[in-house]
Structure 1
């Protein structure tokens, strides 16, 4: 249904994503409505398709951002701490911040300084994002996303916007989850195909991994030399 969800404004994009059941909860609809995608997408911001950001990075299609937010929603309560790895344009970082207010915080991690700066700059284009960057509710940092961001751990929820090279490669991120907590991450299998994994840690530290639908993301790697 994604191909039928394009909008001519942020409002119509959210309406179409909701009508096509790509957004399924009022909280996610409200959060995505509060963050104008035009501040984060270099072109055609209201098309339900990915857009290049340069530096080998993309801003994912809106339906993917909606699905990630819906999946993580049970762990996005007010006051929650969230890690957004591969924060790119900063769009989903701000949507996640909207979902954990009041009192929550989000750290966006990028491995290229120009992308880190882009996310911070884009967030500052909107009233909410500018406020959150100013008061530390949203932080954009440079680091190796494969290592997470230990400074703010543990996190209620972790989103990864690039494909890990195997399920074993996300164990360090699982270690930065709270009990309970959830990780949403694309993973490339031995066959070269990528799938979304939703990984939960319960109150006792037990971990379950659920393989979901196929995707195509840029790889989660270190910065180019």
Structure 2
């Protein structure tokens, strides 16, 4: 992601870790969402692999996927709006032409990128034998079609809209026998945070026995020559009455006895 500067794909607040509006109604996903998607697909986007991004907003993920597969591979981008296809084309050209070193190793707006506009995500979708697919949507029919485009061992990740912030990322792996296995991609960062919160609550609930639990009783020192501060546990503290108070009480008792007799 470091070689793909978001400013070439996001007009406003490109470095904010949140979804941002793009041109022609596109919504660019948050950086942390893109990072999770790429992390999940990286082992499938090897040098020379064929991959695809369906409804790829302003083209940011297309560029990232292109770096994984290199110019030897192919990255298919599919939009349903021709204006967005042109936007992807322009953004990829600006990015590849403005990022040091990319032109020298062969990156251009059309290498390794193949951009298409389709009226439907279920009919005439380009690409066969794909190693990795990202689909920004959760239409069941589209998912079924894309699953058929995967090669055995390939992976599809799609975004399920929850209506409450970040989408749920769902992963479909195509096994060697051609069957599909689906699971939700767990956010390990959130899981780690929940675990730490639970551990904090457990620590708060532990029984606390008082200062003596933290400072075990020590023998009472007397006249310490080195001037150490004395530490007397509460269990060793005894009440020593004042002598004047004792004499006063004795006098009261004696006087009371005399008056009675």
Q: Would you say same fold, with TM above 0.5?
A: yes
Counterpart secondary structure, 1:103? coil
CA shift for structure 1 position 102:
4.8
Q: Does the alignment pair 1:174 with 2:143?
A: no
The structure, 1 or 2, with the larger RCO (C-alpha pairs under 8 Å, 6+ apart) is 1
Largest Rg, 1 or 2: 2
Q: Does the alignment pair 1:42 with 2:11?
A: yes
Are residues 208 and 78 of structure 1, via their aligned partners in 2, closer, same or farther at CA, if it must alter by over 3 Å? same
Q: Does the alignment pair 1:113 with 2:82?
A: yes
Counterpart secondary structure, 1:55? helix
Residue pairs, 1:82-161, within 5 angstroms: 82-126=51-95, 127=97, 128=102, 131-134=106-109, 136-144=111-119, 146-147=121-122, 150-161=125-136
CA shift for structure 1 position 146:
2.3
CA shift for structure 1 position 150:
4.1
Does the 8 A contact of 1:83 with 1:159 survive in 2?
yes
Give the one of 138, 145, 155 matched to 1:164.
Answer: 138
> 1: CA distance between counterparts of 2:103 and 2:65?
11
Dislocated runs of 4+, deviation >3 Å: 128-136, 148-151
Counterpart secondary structure, 1:34? coil
Give the one of 174, 183, 186 matched to 1:210.
Answer: 183
Q: Please, what TM-score do these two structures have when normalized by structure 2?
A: 0.62
Does the 8 A contact of 1:148 with 1:173 survive in 2?
no
CA shift for structure 1 position 104:
1.2
Consecutive unaligned residues in structure 2, runs of 5 or more: 188-261
Does the 8 A contact of 2:172 with 2:180 survive in 1?
yes
Instruction: Quote the residue 2:230 is aligned against.
Output: none
Are residues 132 and 141 of structure 1, via their aligned partners in 2, closer, same or farther at CA, if it must alter by over 3 Å? farther
In angstroms, what is the RMSD of aligned CA positions? 2.5
Does the 8 A contact of 1:107 with 1:138 survive in 2?
yes
CA shift for structure 1 position 46:
1.1
More strand by share: 1
Q: Please, what TM-score do these two structures have when normalized by structure 1?
A: 0.71
CA shift for structure 1 position 144:
4.1
* Worse-matched range after superposition: 74-83 or 127-136: 127-136
Consecutive unaligned residues in structure 1, runs of 5 or more: 1-31, 215-225
Are residues 99 and 194 of structure 1, via their aligned partners in 2, closer, same or farther at CA, if it must alter by over 3 Å? closer
